[in-house]
Structure 1
Amino acid sequence: MSASETRRQIADVADRLFYEHGFEATSFADIARDVGLSRGNFYYHFKTKDEILDAVIARRVSNTRAMLDAWEQAASSPAERIRSFIHILIANRTKIMAHGCPVGTLCNELAKLDHAAKNDAILLFTLFRDWLARQFAALGREADADGLALHILMRSQGVATLFTAFRDEDFIRREVADMEAWLQAQCPAASLLHSRQSA
């Protein structure tokens, strides 16, 4: 395995462990064990846990951009793209129930630690915020596009937090349906067009 492949594998494993156990609770030994590297070989690739965190955040940013690009390509209308964002709660419900939202949990932990990388992690939320704002602007809501983007982002975070606490599948499905109804109320003309196309 090449050095770049090993670094990528370390970042993949660290990403999972940071999500499942938290950044602070995950040790070098935990990551090295799950990757299957000796400590000496591990230090060849990453000297500090902060270097690994940087790689994890970069990996998440790259994956988020790829997901947003895929939603752009897959959906023909901005409203349908926003629905893709809303439905991520359903698609990821098993992971969310077990460990919370991967973006929210990382940002919250780094903020509590006052970690130097906390602003880098916030870029993950900013990607969603800017992308959602562009979708609302494309629906004719340019004046309040950013406010609408923050509202749906805030709502999804609240749903994820409560779902993690209560582990109620009916709750998350009701909330997703309610967010879809809210979206339709914001953009009735676009939603009507979607209904006709789906019929």
Structure 2
Amino acid sequence: MKDQTTRDHIIEAADRLFYQQGFEHTSFSHIAGAVQISRGNFYYHFKTKDEILEAVINKRLADRRMMLGQWEIDGDTPVDRIQSFINILLVNKDKIQLYGCPIGTLSTELAKLNHGAQEQANQLFTLFRSWLGRQFSLLGRDRDADVLAMHVLAHSQGVATLANAFNDEAFIRQEVRQISDWLAEIAGHCPKEQGQQQLSKKEQEK
């Protein structure tokens, strides 16, 4: 394998293991074993676990930016785009039931450890908060766009935490329906020229 390819494999394996096992309980040996490389080859790319953590967070940021960018392309309206964020609970329901939210669990663990990378990890939440806020602004809710963004973000984190605790898929589906109904209501109460006109055909048919 080329050096860059090997490094990518290490980061991908670490990303998966940090999510499934936690950062603290994942060792160099775990990651090297998952990638099937020698410890010497491993140390050529990363000298410390903190270096791997930084790379994993950067990967998650890049992946989420790409995901949000795709939603911008695919979503005809702000409602469609916000709905894509809400639906992530359904798309990732199996993993969420097993391990919780990858972003929330990492941020919580780093906070408990008082780890220096906590602020960097929280950039993932900030990314979502800013993006959701922009979508609500486009719906004509400039004054409370950030409040609404935080509501959606808090809801998704709460659902992920409880779905993981109770391993309950029905709960996820129920909560997604409820927050989706709330979103439709929010969109319906936007100024007519900015709100109703921005509803997708799917939303208008409800």
Normalising by the residue count of structure 2, what TM-score does the alignment of the two structures yield? 0.93
The amino acid across from 1:67 in the alignment is M
Residue 91 of structure 1 corresponds to which residue in structure 2?
A: 91
Deviation at 1:194, TM superposition (A): 2.5
User: Structure 1 pair 182/198, CA: closer, same or farther in 2 (3 Å)?
Assistant: closer
- TM-fit CA distance, 1:170: 1.4
Identify which range, 185-194 or 132-141, moves more after superposition.
185-194
**Alignment RMSD, CA only?**
1.4
State how far apart, in whole Å, the 1-side matches of 2:202 and 2:29 are: 56
- What is the DSSP-based 3-state SS (H/G/I as helix, E as strand, rest coil) of the residue aligned with 1:120? helix
* 1:160 match: 160
* Partner residue in 2 for 1:108: 108
Q: How does 1:5-154 map to 2 (within 5 A)?
A: 5-154=5-154
How far the C-alpha of 1:169 sits from its partner, in A, is 1.5
Q: Percent identity?
A: 55
- 1:194 paired with 2:200, answer yes
What are structure 2's unaligned runs of at least 5 residues?
A: none
Shift of 1:49: 0.2
- State the alpha-carbon separation in 1 of the partners of residues 203 and 49 from structure 2: 50
**Which stretch shows the higher mean deviation, 51-60 or 182-191?**
182-191
Flag the 1:82–1:99 CA change in 2: closer, same or farther, 3 A. same
For 2:111 and 2:202, how far apart are their aligned partners in 1? 45
1:89 and 1:172 in contact (8 A); partners too: yes
Identify the residue that residue 179 of structure 1 maps to in structure 2. Answer: 179
Which runs of no fewer than 5 residues in structure 1 stay unpaired? Answer: none
Structure number with the higher helix fraction is 1
| CA drift at 1:2 | 1.5
Count of paired positions: 199
Q: Secondary structure at the match of 1:97?
A: helix
What letter corresponds to residue 143 of structure 2 in structure 1?
A: A
The answer to whether the Cα contact below 8 Å between 2:32 and 2:39 also exists between their aligned partners in 1 is yes
